[in-house]
Amino acid sequence: LLSCLIAIDNNYQTTIIAPTEILAQQHYNSIDNSVKDLGLNVKILTGSTSKKERIDLFDDLKNGLVNILIGTHAVLEDKVAFKNLGLAIIDEQHRFGVAQRSKLWKKNKIPPHILVMTATPIPRTLAMSVYGDLDISIIDELPPGRKPITTVHRTDKNRLQVFKFIKDEVLKERQIYIVYPLIEESRTMDYKDLMDGYESIEREFPKNQYQLSILHGRMKNEDKEYEMNRFKKGETQIMVSTTVIEVGVNIPNASVMIVESAERFGLSQLHQLRGRVGRGSENSYCILMTKEKISNDARTRIKTMCRTNDGFKIAEVDMNLRGPGNILGTQQSGLLNFKIADIIKDKDILDLARDDAKSLLRNDPQLRHTDNKEIKEEYGKLNKNSILWKHIS
């Protein structure tokens, strides 16, 4: 918010983009309330914004009457034009594609400053920080009063003990998330699904003793809000959900996150889901449920989650597993075509190379010196044959 205010003070507009309407609305409510005495015009744009509201908003944006625009992917549409966009902030950056983020560069004659935020950088972004193409700040401390989340791995044979643990937490007046990878049973994927899981949870936690909420992406927005508000108010103790709760949910009383078929999820998603708990001062837990037999990569992901709460360390493991992607393209993960180099193990060498590159550009920014002729020719080929997606984090 402070960076937005600095941009506004210099006669620029700003935008904050989130991947879901729930999170965008939370940002809007918080920021609009924070700046209400400053005379700033804060607006929100999502898929639910009416046609008339959009027309009025688009006019105000073009005329510079909107100081801060908060929204979802809708902000990236071509018809959304600013008078003078100076700063774009992307929350939960891992939920946006490279090409999507690149659209921000076309929102102003001079590309705006871009700040991206995430608990777990995608491999490509982490690689860019290693190469020095992206300045990075790491917040490695918990907010005051919060405790680290305890993460454990359990299998189906432990299910009765897990149910008992849930009942013990409910007795302490805590709330529980149970997350499934699928809404309904799939013919092609052997994973737990929400509808079947909800029925079994209802049997284990009868309505005369426990109150349950259910949430998934096929529900109408008003139904999702209704169920979420019930959980927020403490009217229900157990939220059975898909990954729609991955971002934008802040309920300090929720102390347990249970992820069914955890082998199905990537490290980034697992870390994001775990982050839905541990937001209060009480002890919090994340239980990763899997089948007995899982792949080696899945086992590495599960062990990593149990070993650390550090999103940056998790991102490094993720990059080692999936590869850093294409720095000069749009691929956000995948192996590089290096025969020898390893951008994690060889980070010290990369640091030296980056320092040399900076020194070269200071002394010969146009690469006119004869010693730099080959470098200039090679760089020219790269510029000619590829879109410079490298500018986009």
Among 67, 96, 118, the domain-final residue is: 118
Kindly state whether residue 93 falls inside one of the protein's structural domains: yes
pLDDT-derived band at 146, boundaries 50, 70, 90: confident
Range of the domain at 292: 150-309
Q: Classify the phi-psi angles of 367: left when phi > 0, otherwise alpha if psi is within -120 to 50, otherwise beta.
A: left
Task: Tell me what pLDDT residue 197 has.
Answer: 83
pLDDT above 60 for 316 = yes
64 touches 288 (CB < 8 A): no
Residue with tokens 């729609």: 244
Q: Are 162 and 287 in contact (CB under 8 A)?
A: yes
What would the pLDDT profile of 249-302 be if each residue is shown by its tens digit?
789 999 999 999 999 999 988 998 999 999 888 999 999 999 999 999 999 999
- CATH number for the domain harbouring residue 35: 3.40.50.300
Given 309, 332, 362, the domain boundary residue is 309
pTM for the structure as a whole: 0.73
3-state secondary structure of 155: strand
> Is 227 domain-assigned?
yes
Give the position of tokens 């986009």. Answer: 392
Number of domains comprising the chain? 2
Q: Same structural domain for residues 36 and 180?
A: no
- For residue range 27-77, list pLDDT tens digits in order: 999 999 999 899 999 999 998 899 999 999 999 999 999 999 999 999 999
Nearest to 151 by CA among 29, 49, 42, 275: 275
In a domain, 241, yes or no: yes
Of 279, 309, 339, the residue that ends a domain is 309
Please give the structure tokens belonging to residue 88: 């774009």
The amino acid occupying position 360 is L
Whether 154 and 54 map to the same domain: the answer is: no
What the block records as the tokens of 126 is: 């982490």
Element (H, E) at 123: helix 123-131
For residues 298 and 158, state if they share a domain. Answer: yes
For residues 220 and 305, state if they share a domain: yes
The verdict on 165 and 98 lying in the same domain is: no
